[in-house]
């Protein structure tokens, strides 16, 4: 069955403080997004790629592809007002057969094992996401009071989030809600349960200069 | 006023999979704990150090201090059955005047700014802890169902947790409870509010081989 990955790279990169959106920042001289593509190639060299970028960044991406001679075939789709709208645009560009992974462009270090586990679970259940137990103590702050949170059953959520294509496309026909923090919440609101599988610790979201230091160390250590 | 830091290094290191407890693992050739001591020296060269170790690891530590000629003066105290009991033993070794920081031995990259902010806040309020907003989506798993959690007001908790010495010593006279996940929860149960200040992203807990890779990169990049 045909597998697709929609790589969502809609961020404006404001948190990094530089001029470049963070998905274009370099790890060891190459844009973060290249590593993300290559990880999915390592899982399935035949996988179909859709890259969702803010419309204004599409020429910048084309320039990088050409400059670095980046050879992975992919379709580029313009994003929307929010992540929800960007994913919806990506879904409009794919067919209805098989599974689709929706993945954060700034998570280049997802392991092939994590991708495999998530696809395998979604193949049976229709919807699966990788998670890891929360390691640090958590605290909730509300109206000037703070409360400790039991982290015992708490998980941090990663991507790729993998779904039956027909299911996720139908779910994204719903109206946008602020409660849609990721694709799993959209599918759940639509009425379909989401299965949790184990993620991997290296699967960090690159959002700060600290993360770039970590990313370069991971590439140097061969995690790529 | 006299400042003290109790460095709690009670972990058995099982998660790392090696023979050495993780607080003794090397970052760029030197034990994690040395970096932790040196960070606090950078904040206040006169600070009093108490190191809490499992009794069985005290000879190993003495060997490392001697082998590396580690010169920071400190008192070593044997830990107890749980983290609560270890901290309690540490508190029994200090006076009642001024403030005490309680810090995880495996957090060598707390910044001097974070230490300063936490001491400054505790000096006014009696109890302060460093936190950071949670970056990843969270999900709660319960009885085979899972629920998305609003991370908007959720913070991950770091150390040092800094307290008025008399207050924390009294709080630790209470009976142990499984709900004591850190020192802040003990002080709150005792009836004293805990103030939140901003932590720093590099202040990671070194618990896996992945964290050692990150730690070596941080030292190489001059974060130490």
Query: Who's near B95: CB < 8 A, 6+ residues apart?
Result: B2, B4, B165
B 96-155 near A (Cβ less than 8 A): 131, 134-142, 145-146, 148-151, 153-155
User: pLDDT of chain A along its 224 residues, tens only?
Assistant: 689 999 999 755 444 445 667 778 889 999 999 999 999 999 999 999 999 999 999 999 999 999 999 999 999 999 998 999 999 999 999 999 999 999 999 999 999 999 999 999 999 999 999 999 998 889 998 877 888 888 888 999 999 999 999 999 999 999 999 888 899 999 999 999 999 999 999 999 998 888 998 999 889 887 65
Which chain B residue has its CA at the smallest distance from A203's CA?
B210
Q: Does a cis peptide bond (omega within 30 degrees of 0) precede residue A211?
A: no
ipTM metric? 0.84
Locate B37 and state its tokens.
């001591």
Which chain A residue has its CA at the smallest distance from B178's CA?
A150
State which H helix or E strand residue A199 sits in: none
Does the beta carbon of B178 lie under 8 angstroms from any beta carbon of chain A? no
Question: What's the pLDDT at B19?
Answer: 60
Q: Do A139 and B131 touch (CB under 8 A)?
A: yes
CA–CA separation, B79 vs B11, rounded Å? Answer: 10
pLDDT in tens, B162-208: 999 999 999 999 999 988 889 999 999 999 999 999 999 999 999 88
Which chain B residue has its CA at the smallest distance from A218's CA?
B213
Which 8-state DSSP code applies to residue B172? T
Q: Do B138 and A158 touch (CB under 8 A)?
A: no
Q: Do B156 and A141 touch (CB under 8 A)?
A: no
CATH 3.90.550.10, domain A3-130+156-220, yes or no: yes
Question: Residue B82: which of B12, B10, B14 has the closest Cα?
Answer: B10
When scoring B8, B109, B134, B136 by the number of chain A Cβ atoms within 10 A, the one with the most, hence best to mutate, is B136
Domain chopping of chain A, boundaries: 3-130+156-220
A 39-68 near B (Cβ less than 8 A): none
B41 touches B31 (CB < 8 A) = no
- Does pLDDT of B130 surpass 90? yes
Q: Do A210 and B202 touch (CB under 8 A)?
A: yes
Which residues of chain B does A194 touch, with a Cβ-Cβ cutoff of 8 Å? 146
How many helices, marked H, and strands, marked E, lie in chain A? Answer: 7, 12
CA A197 to chain B, closest CA, distance in angstroms equals 12
Beta bridge pairs of residue A140: A147, B154
pLDDT in tens, A17-74: 456 677 788 899 999 999 999 999 999 999 999 999 999 999 999 999 999 999 999 9
Question: Residue B21: which of B49, B66, B51 has the closest Cα?
Answer: B51
In percent, the amount of chain B with pLDDT more than 90 equals 73
Which residues of chain B does A155 touch, with a Cβ-Cβ cutoff of 8 Å? 138-141, 146
Does the beta carbon of B190 lie under 8 angstroms from any beta carbon of chain A? no
A180 CA to centre of own chain? 15
CA–CA separation, A203 vs A108, rounded Å? Answer: 7
Which chain A residue has its CA at the smallest distance from B194's CA?
A146
Task: Please provide the DSSP assignment of A69-136 as one string.
Answer: T-----EEEE--SSHHHHHHHHHHTS-SSSEEEEEETT-TT--HHHHHHHHHHHHHHSEEEEEEE--S
Does the beta carbon of B213 lie under 8 angstroms from any beta carbon of chain A? yes
């Amino acid at each position: 069955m045909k597998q697709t990955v929609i790589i969502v790279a809609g961020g404006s990169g404001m948190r990094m403080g530089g001029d470049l959106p963070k998905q274009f920042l370099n790890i060891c001289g190459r844009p973060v997004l290249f590593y993300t593509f290559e990880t999915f190639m390592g899982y399935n060299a035949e996988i179909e790629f859709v890259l969702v970028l803010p419309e204004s960044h599409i020429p910048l991406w084309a320039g990088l592809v050409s400059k670095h001679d980046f050879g992975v075939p992919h379709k580029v789709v313009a994003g929307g007002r929010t992540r929800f709208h960007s994913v919806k645009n990506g879904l409009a560009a794919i067919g209805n057969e098989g599974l689709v992974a929706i993945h954060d462009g700034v998570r280049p270090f997802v392991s092939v094992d994590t991708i495999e586990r998530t696809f395998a679970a979604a193949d049976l259940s229709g919807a699966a996401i990788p998670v890891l137990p929360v390691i640090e103590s958590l605290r909730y702050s509300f109206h000037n009071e703070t409360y400790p949170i039991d982290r015992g059953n708490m998980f941090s959520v990663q991507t790729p989030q993998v779904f039956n294509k027909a299911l996720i496309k139908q779910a994204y026909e719903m109206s946008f809600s602020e409660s849609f923090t990721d694709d799993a919440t959209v599918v759940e609101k639509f009425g379909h349960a989401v299965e949790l599988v184990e993620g991997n610790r290296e699967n960090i979201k690159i959002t700060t200069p600290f993360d770039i230091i970590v990313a370069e160390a991971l590439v140097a250590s061969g995690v790529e």
